[in-house]
Amino acid sequence: MNDHELYMRRAIALAANAPDLPFGALIVDGDSGTILSEGWNKTSLNPMWHGEIDAINGLAASGVVLEGKCLVLYTTAEPCPMCQAAILWSGIETVVFGTSIRSLQRLGWRQIDILAEEVIRRSPGWNCTLFGGVLERDCDALFQKAMLQRVLSSDVVPIESSRESVE
């Protein structure tokens, strides 16, 4: 297991224990390998409280000196445009994710249809590199299971099937 997979395992563990939606994230000092902050989705408290935002807020609250640090954010899913913008504003240079926004959509998850790479492309002069697909099958399985649980426990309809039913 390489380092990316090791940290992604931790993001998956955070996501699996998240009470709301299975999005987990952590921020690592890329030079020392130290985990600086961990977070998970808390959108039942606040719709903007995504896993990545939780990790960024935790890092800001920790008082760690960020200047000169090479920050890497691991997340079970590709950051949405709100989170990707927050990542840019936070100076996080590298993002490693498991499931893509396209896969989330295929699995029935409602997502804003702007990919992280597009947010970066439209922000010339801002520095951020994306690595997608790390432990993708494990992350996909997490989202597939959570969607199934949501469908079985309520009247949530995965968006693909709701779209088909209107067309």
Interface positions with ligand GUN (CB under 6 A): 21, 23, 41, 43, 50-52, 75, 77, 79-80, 83
Pairwise CA distance, residues 80 & 78, whole Å: 6
We find the least distance from the C-beta atom of residue 165 to ligand GUN, in angstroms, to be: 23
We find the least distance from the C-beta atom of residue 41 to ligand GUN, in angstroms, to be: 4
With contact defined as beta carbons under 8 Å apart, do 119 and 84 qualify? Answer: yes
We find the least distance from the C-beta atom of residue 79 to ligand GUN, in angstroms, to be: 5
We find the least distance from the C-beta atom of residue 134 to ligand GUN, in angstroms, to be: 14
**How many CB atoms neighbour CB 67 within 10 A?**
5
Tokens, residue 37:
């902050």
Residue 99 or 125 with smaller CB distance to ligand GUN: 99
Pairwise CA distance, residues 27 & 74, whole Å: 6
Residue 41 or 103 with smaller CB distance to ligand GUN: 41
- Order of strands, sheet of 94-99, starting from the edge strand that comes earlier in the sequence: 35-40, 24-29, 71-77, 94-99, 129-131
Pairwise CA distance, residues 108 & 3, whole Å: 30
Residue 8 or 80 with smaller CB distance to ligand GUN: 80
Residue 69 or 75 with smaller CB distance to ligand GUN: 75
